[in-house]
A and B are shown apart, each in its own frame.
Chain A
Amino acid sequence: SAVISQKPSRDICQRGTSLTIQCQVDSQVTMMFWYRQQPGQSLTLIATANQGSEATYESGFVIDKFPISRPNLTFSTLTVSNMSPEDSSIYLCSVAAAGGYNEQFFGPGTRLTVL
């Protein structure tokens, strides 16, 4: 499986500010995904990020709040804009496995606390 890293691993931010999270993969991948895991809950897909096209957002998530970049096949960023305490969460990127069975592998996550 691909090796995925995320930066920062954690951050504490003031409300109203923005944070950009980076996701780096050690191999080229077509599809990358961004998820949120709120405290005590399971993962929710925010958006799918494909290289060379706009990200596709899930219901409840909008580009103005969570802009995503995907400049190449090994890198993506997620920005959490105009943060509020409700954005405190773990943000994870994932990549689809090569081949045909649709597994995804996850980065270590970014733990965000908004004060």
Chain B
Amino acid sequence: RKEVEQDPGPFNVPEGATVAFNCTYSNSASQSFFWYRQDCRKEPKLLMSVYSSGNEDGRFTAQLNRASQYISLLIRDSKLSDSATYLCVVLMNTGFQKLVFGTGTRLLVSP
């Protein structure tokens, strides 16, 4: 089983749609969780950290379910500029700050 699993997509949605991405992780001792965004031929950029209580940043909402080892990202009112690959990232509890990346979910927002 992969340490971090995501649906690779692509998700094709029209502008204004709401889209949700899911992610599962295998290590129950994982402590920190993140969503990164990666545009084509660019480096990953931190979109948001995922807190235990869930958190929202504008159109983006992240949720964490520790019991199910499940993380989600909800994007409301999709914009063309949201088209990118969204990476689910988990900090492994190895004594070092080891981030483990999912394979990413590709989002294409069309006019």
Taking the nearest CB of chain B, how far is it from the CB of A47, in angstroms? Answer: 10
Q: Would you give the shortest CB distance from A112 to chain B, in whole angstroms?
A: 14
Q: Using A41-B103, A42-B103, A45-B99 as known contacts, say yes or no to A102 and B43 having CB atoms under 8 A apart.
A: no
Number of A-B contacts (CB under 8 A): 49
Is the beta-carbon distance between B32 and A101 smaller than 8 angstroms?
yes
The interface size of chain A toward B, counting residues with CB under 8 Å, comes to 23
| Cβ contacts A to B, 7 pairs, < 8 Å | A42-B101, A42-B104, A48-B97, A58-B98, A96-B97, A103-B49, A106-B43
Contact flag A31-B43 (CB < 8 Å), given A41-B103, A103-B34, A103-B49: no
| CB–CB A43/B98 < 8 A | no
Q: Which 5 A-B pairs have the closest CB atoms?
A: A106-B43, A42-B101, A43-B101, A42-B103, A102-B32
Q: How large is the interface on B (under 10, 10 to 19, 20 to 34, 35 or more residues)?
A: 20 to 34
Whole-angstrom distance between the Cβ of B6 and the nearest chain A Cβ: 9
Knowing A42-B102, A42-B104 are in contact, say whether A101-B43 is a contact too (CB < 8 A): no
A1, A56, A105: which contacts B96 (Cβ < 8 A)? A56
- Contact present for A92 and B43 (CB under 8 Å): yes
What's the Cα separation between A60 and B42 when bound, in Å?
A: 25
- Given the complex of chains A and B, what is the CA–CA distance between A115 and B75 in angstroms? 41
A104→B32 contact, CB < 8 A? no
